[in-house]
Amino acid sequence: MANVDLKKIEEAVKMILEAVGEDVEREGLLDTPKRVSKMYAEMFSGLNEDPRDYFSTVFHEDHEEFVLVKDIPFFSMCEHHLVPFYGTAHIAYIPKDGKVAGLSKLGRCLESVARRPQLQERITSTVADTIMEMLNPKGVYVVVEAEHMCMTMRGLKKPGSKTLTAVARGVYEEDDTKRNEVITFIQMK
Ligand SMILES: Nc1nc2c(ncn2[C@@H]2O[C@H](COP(=O)(O)OP(=O)(O)OP(=O)(O)O)[C@@H](O)[C@H]2O)c(=O)[nH]1
Ligand SMILES: [Zn+2]
């Protein structure tokens, strides 16, 4: 994997295990640094990607109303504690001049943004801004709901607490009716 120093991660993981008082030579831990280095390469693979690249192919379809892909699961890593936060995202946009993206590309964009050390707010705004830039739609509305392990397994210790973030761009910033319409569909089970 480009730009990922697997050996350095292995050394760092070994040092952490030693620092917490583990025996890094015991059988169960022998391959752990290597496994963790591969895992980090996978979880942070978005750092080697540009989410805009997923919108290099677009289609022309005269669709005037919103397109909403909802309940897209994602996993990310809190940049403060390097523990997971995970949940679902809902991504809506209203195409302009018939410029639409392949539906899977919304989720691919999210995935590439989430697979980095992140903040939930930044995932939400980066996805919205990427779609604004690449599709130039009338509007974008992104909602992310997630549970943060740094608030459940440590610190505050409140399992089940959910954080919701939303970002509106274009017409969704001004037009309450359009925003409420898409919120209704997001909430619909
Ligand atoms: N805004 C924002 N904060 C986050 C996110 N993920 C984790 N945090 C918070 O980042 C903050 C870091 O606060 P600090 O006081 O520097 O660290 P800490 O002492 O470990 O904080 P506690 O979690 O309160 O124990 C915590 O309040 C976390 O809940 C996120 O996606 N967005
Ligand atoms: Zn955290």
Does the pLDDT value for residue 2 go beyond 70? no
The residue whose CA has the least distance to atom 14 of ligand 1 is 80
Q: Which CATH class is domain 6-43?
A: mainly alpha
Rounded CA gap, 104 and 38, in Å? 26
The residue whose CA has the least distance to atom 9 of ligand 1 is 80
Distance of CA 52 to the CA centre of its chain: 14
Q: In the prediction, which pLDDT does 59 show?
A: 96
Domain boundary assignment for the chain: 6-43, 58-187
Annotated binding site for Zn(2+): 78, 81, 150
Q: In the prediction, which pLDDT does 1 show?
A: 55
Q: Is the CB of 119 under 6 A from ligand 1?
A: yes
Q: In the prediction, which pLDDT does 3 show?
A: 84
With beta carbons less than 8 A apart as the criterion, state whether 123 and 146 touch: no
The model scores a pTM over 0.90: yes
Rounded CA gap, 147 and 159, in Å? 8
Which residues hold their Cβ within 5 A of ligand 2, which is an ion?
78, 80-81, 150
The interface pTM score, or ipTM, of the predicted complex is: 0.87
Q: Looking at domain 58-187, which CATH architecture does it have?
A: 2-Layer Sandwich (3.30)
| DSSP β-ladder status, 99-101 and 117-118 | unpaired
The residue whose CA has the least distance to atom 24 of ligand 1 is 155
The tens digit of pLDDT for each residue in 45-103 reads 999 999 999 999 999 999 999 999 999 999 999 999 999 999 999 999 999 999 999 99
